[in-house]
Amino acid sequence: MRRSSGLVGARLPAALLTALALAGCASADRGGYADNPPSNPTAYVAWQEWTRFGRSTVVYGGSAAGYTNRRGVSERSEPLSSRVGDYWGSCGHPEWNGRTSGRPWSGAFVSWVMKKSGASGFPTAGRHGQYLSALYDREHSGRGASFALHAPNEYAPKPGDLVCSGTAGASWRYTSPAMAHRRIDNTASHCDVVTDVRGGFVQAVGGNVKNSVTMSLYPVDRRGRLAPAPGKLWMLVVENRAT
Q: Assign 65 a pLDDT band (cuts: 50, 70, 90).
A: low
Question: Is 20 a domain residue?
Answer: yes
Q: Assign 29 a pLDDT band (cuts: 50, 70, 90).
A: very low
177: which residues sit within 8 A by CB, 6+ positions away?
A: 136, 140
Average pLDDT over residues 190-216: 95
DSSP 169-201: TTGGGGS-HHHHHHHHHHHEEEEEEEEEEETTE
Q: Assign 68 a pLDDT band (cuts: 50, 70, 90).
A: confident
Question: Is 4 a domain residue?
Answer: no
Instruction: Give 120-150 pLDDT, tens digit per residue.
Output: 999 999 999 999 999 999 998 877 689 999 9
What is the domain count for the chain? 1
Q: How far is CA 15 from CA 34, 62, 79, 142, 210, in A?
A: 20, 9, 38, 45, 25
Instruction: Give 4-22 pLDDT, tens digit per residue.
Output: 333 333 344 444 444 444 4
Q: Please report, for the domain that includes residue 61, its CATH number.
A: 3.90.1720.10
Collapsing DSSP to helix, strand or coil, 101 comes out as: coil
Question: Is 159 a domain residue?
Answer: yes
Question: Is 115 a domain residue?
Answer: yes
Question: Is 1 a domain residue?
Answer: no
Q: Which of 20, 50, 14 is nearest to 214 (CA)?
A: 50
Strands 64-70 and 147-150: unpaired
At 19 the pLDDT is 45
Question: Is 2 a domain residue?
Answer: no
Instruction: Give 73-117 pLDDT, tens digit per residue.
Output: 777 788 888 888 899 898 888 888 878 867 899 999 999 999 999
Average pLDDT over residues 216-229: 94
Question: Is 27 a domain residue?
Answer: yes
Does the CA dihedral 73-74-75-79 come out positive or negative? negative
Evaluate if residue 23 carries a pLDDT over 90. Answer: no
How many Cβ atoms sit within 10 Å of the Cβ of residue 63?
A: 12
Phi and psi of 74, rounded to 5°?
-65, 150
Average pLDDT over residues 32-55: 86
Evaluate if residue 33 carries a pLDDT over 50. Answer: no
Across the beta sheet with 234-240, what order do the strands follow? 64-70, 56-61, 212-219, 201-209, 188-198, 162-166, 234-240, 147-150
Going by the DSSP 8-state scheme, the letter that residue 220 receives in this structure is B
- What's the mean per-residue pLDDT of the chain? 84
Global confidence as pTM: 0.84
Question: Is 68 a domain residue?
Answer: yes
Query: 32 is in which domain, residue-wise?
Result: 9-240
